């Protein structure tokens, strides 16, 4: 995917997140499409789209909704970084690694987000934050999984052809896009 | 320098983290101040978000409406309106004219005239909502050109929502009362001389204490804003008492309150503007 396409994807995710997705709330918890996009882009693409665009749109999110500017950007960056690190050890073509990665990255994002805000002195307790976490992490993971299934078609050509090496480079026994 | 050249991505990440932490620090120091960048972003995004929010509103705010519950939702809305009409008719039928006069006199004495009669208000739609699932912060499509100002009080049909955090020309950012540690003065609707103070408890509800330890507040009591010591004017429904405890250490009678408003699915709100001048009755 070209940079322009990735920017457009994140811009669309941003607007849909703020407007339409609140209608998809389950038990008051709505999924985080922006985070899911950052996670999947960081996992699938060699270029650091997920990291850079996740941080940029996280910053926009903070400017629009946050009490303090920069918290969402940092938490999304942490999640994207985690996925970039996981990519070194997991096969990013497969669904299960993507699922596990998305689960961990979503949990990390939420922990960093709450941790920074707690340091800044918000009144919310850990118990209150933990209450929706199960639903939220499950929701984000499913969304990331759906995005992974859609986007990997464009990333990995001839996925089922084990002899096709096009588009990959091998470093230290690992295959990278 | 060589390390930087060889590790461009790592350097960029470190610089980005440092810049973001600096930004957090600056935004904390300037909290509540007018932020030109935030205003510019708000203006641009509100123009984009409004049509999307309208589409979201069209679908009734729930994906299930897309499937098979559309008719049910509409019917539910119609039935709710009908119930309200019938309840009103029932009340009017039960109360004699004398009773109504007495109630009106009492409400005037207690300064309980409807907020919409006392204040100029502007109705607004929620066009965007925070997805952090921690805070209940949302953007509305009314701004300075509609008379909205920072710290203007926001209510909905159920009661108190919060206050305007920042405002632009055509948008305003609203933070809910449960997300702040600001104190809200309240009085018990059943017995308005019983006063107290509430604030967000960090659990999605409100906690507070009675100023008079002898106040016989009980579970189920409805609380309204007292208008004392804060930005919230008198007479707005806050919620109902769900627990009353006696704190031996302080010693204070503490209460837990369930907010009347449901913050997770707010669609329309009213912003209270300037107080209308009251007509002085002829002696």
Chain B interface disruption, residue of A12, A18, A77, A78, most B CBs within 10 A: A18
Q: Does residue A159 or residue B135 have the better pLDDT?
A: B135
Which chain A residues have a beta carbon less than 8 Å from that of B165? Answer: 67
pLDDT tens-digit readout, B228-278:
876 888 888 899 999 988 877 777 888 999 988 888 778 888 898 876 565
pLDDT tens-digit readout, B96-109:
566 666 656 655 55
Dist CA B124 CA A11 (whole Å): 25
Q: Per the structure block, which two tokens stand in for B177?
A: 């009362």
- Bond preceding residue B251 cis, omega within 30 of 0: yes
Q: Which residue of A has its CA nearest to B202?
A: A124
CB B252 within 8 A of CB B214: no
Of A66, A122, A132, the CB nearest to B133: A132
pLDDT of A34 higher than 60: yes
Q: Which residue of B has its CA nearest to A73?
A: B20
Q: What is the pLDDT of residue B279?
A: 57
B18-22, B124-128, B261-265: lowest mean pLDDT where?
B261-265
CB B270 within 8 A of CB B117: no
Of B17, B28, B203, the CB nearest to A74: B17
- Half-sphere exposure of B101 toward its Cβ, with a 13 Å CA cutoff? 3
Of A22, A114, A116, the CB nearest to B129: A22
Which chain A residues have a beta carbon less than 8 Å from that of B20? Answer: 55, 59, 70, 73-74, 77
pLDDT of B25 higher than 50: yes
- Report the complex ipTM: 0.77
B121-274: CATH topology is Thrombin, subunit H (2.40.10)
- What are the domain boundaries of chain B? 1-31, 121-274
Q: ∠B226-B229-B234 over CA atoms, to 5°?
A: 25
Contact B56 A22 (CB under 8 A): yes
> Mean pLDDT over all residues of chain B?
77
Contact B131 A30 (CB under 8 A): yes
Q: Which of A94-98, B25-29, B32-36, B141-145 has the highest mean pLDDT?
A: B141-145
pLDDT of B111 higher than 70: no
CB B123 within 8 A of CB B269: yes
Contact A77 B16 (CB under 8 A): yes
CB B131 within 8 A of CB A18: yes
Return the number of CB contacts < 8 Å for A and B.
146
CB A65 within 8 A of CB B139: yes
Dist CA A129 CA B199 (whole Å): 18
Give the residue-averaged pLDDT of B54-81: 60
CB A75 within 8 A of CB A107: no
Contact A30 B60 (CB under 8 A): no
Of B20, B38, B52, the CB nearest to A19: B52
Dist CA B101 CA B107 (whole Å): 10
Of A60, A65, A128, the CB nearest to B137: A65
Sign, CA torsion A10/A11/A15/A16: negative
For chain A, what percent of residues have pLDDT higher than 90? Answer: 10
A78-82, A145-149, A166-170, B46-50: lowest mean pLDDT where?
A166-170
CATH of A3-156+163-176, one of 2.60.20, 1.20.950, 1.10.10, 1.10.1760: 1.10.1760
Dist CA B66 CA B64 (whole Å): 5
Residue ranges of the alpha helices (H) in chain B? 2-6, 8-29, 36-58, 63-64, 70-94, 97-109, 115-118
**Window A:109-148, CB contacts with B under 8 Å:** 113-114, 116-117, 120, 122-125, 127-129, 132, 136
Q: Which of B52-56, B75-79, B116-120, B234-238 has the highest mean pLDDT?
A: B234-238
Burial class for B118, CB neighbours closer than 10 Å (0-12, 13-18, 19+): middle
Smallest CA–CA separation between B181 and chain A, in Å?
6
pLDDT tens-digit readout, A37-92:
999 888 888 888 889 999 999 988 888 777 888 899 999 999 999 988 888 887 77
- What are the domain boundaries of chain A? 3-156+163-176
């Amino acid at each position: 995917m070209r940079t322009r396409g990735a920017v457009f994807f994140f811009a669309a995710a941003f607007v849909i997140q703020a407007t339409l997705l609140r209608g998809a709330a389950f038990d008051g918890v709505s999924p985080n499409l922006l985070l899911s996009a950052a996670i999947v882009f960081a996992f699938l693409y060699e270029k650091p789209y997920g990291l850079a665009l996740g941080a940029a749109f996280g910053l926009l999110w903070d400017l629009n909704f946050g009490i303090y500017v920069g918290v969402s950007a940092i938490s999304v960056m942490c999640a994207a970084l985690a996925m970039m690190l996981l990519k070194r050890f997991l096969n990013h073509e497969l669904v299960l690694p993507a699922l596990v990665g998305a689960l961990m990255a979503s949990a990390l994002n939420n922990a960093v987000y709450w941790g920074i805000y707690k340091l800044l002195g918000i009144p919310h307790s850990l118990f209150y934050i933990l209450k929706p976490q199960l639903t939220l992490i499950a929701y984000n993971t499913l969304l990331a999984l759906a995005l992974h299934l859609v986007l990997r078609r464009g990333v990995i050509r001839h996925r089922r052809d084990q002899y096709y090496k096009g588009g990959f480079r091998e470093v230290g026994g690992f295959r990278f896009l | 320098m060589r390390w930087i050249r060889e590790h461009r991505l790592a350097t960029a990440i470190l610089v980005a983290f440092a810049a973001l932490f600096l930004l957090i620090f600056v935004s904390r120091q300037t909290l509540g101040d007018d932020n030109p960048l935030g205003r510019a972003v708000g203006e641009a995004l509100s123009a984009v978000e409004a049509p999307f929010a309208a589409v979201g509103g069209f679908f009734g705010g729930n994906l299930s409406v897309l499937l098979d519950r559309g008719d049910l939702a509409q019917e539910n809305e119609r039935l709710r309106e009908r119930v309200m009409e019938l309840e009103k008719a029932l009340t009017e039928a039960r109360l004699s004219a004398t009773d109504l006069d007495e109630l009106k006199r009492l409400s005037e004495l207690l300064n309980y005239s409807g907020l919409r009669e006392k204040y100029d208000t502007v109705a607004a739609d929620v066009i965007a909502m925070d997805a952090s699932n921690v805070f209940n912060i949302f953007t509305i499509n009314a701004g300075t050109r509609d008379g909205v100002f920072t710290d203007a009080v926001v209510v909905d049909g159920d009661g108190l929502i919060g206050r305007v955090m920042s405002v632009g020309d055509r948008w305003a950012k609203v933070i809910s009362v449960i997300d702040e540690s600001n104190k809200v003065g309240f009085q018990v609707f059943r017995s308005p001389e019983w006063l107290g103070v509430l604030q967000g408890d960090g659990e999605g509800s409100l906690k507070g204490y009675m100023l008079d330890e002898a106040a016989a507040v009980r579970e189920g009591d409805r609380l309204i804003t007292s208008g004392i010591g804060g930005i919230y004017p008198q007479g707005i429904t806050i919620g109902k008492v769900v627990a009353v405890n006696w704190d031996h250490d302080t010693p204070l009678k503490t209460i837990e309150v369930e907010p009347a408003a449901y913050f997770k699915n707010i669609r329309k709100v009213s912003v209270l503007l300037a107080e209308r001048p009251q007509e002085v009755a002829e002696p």
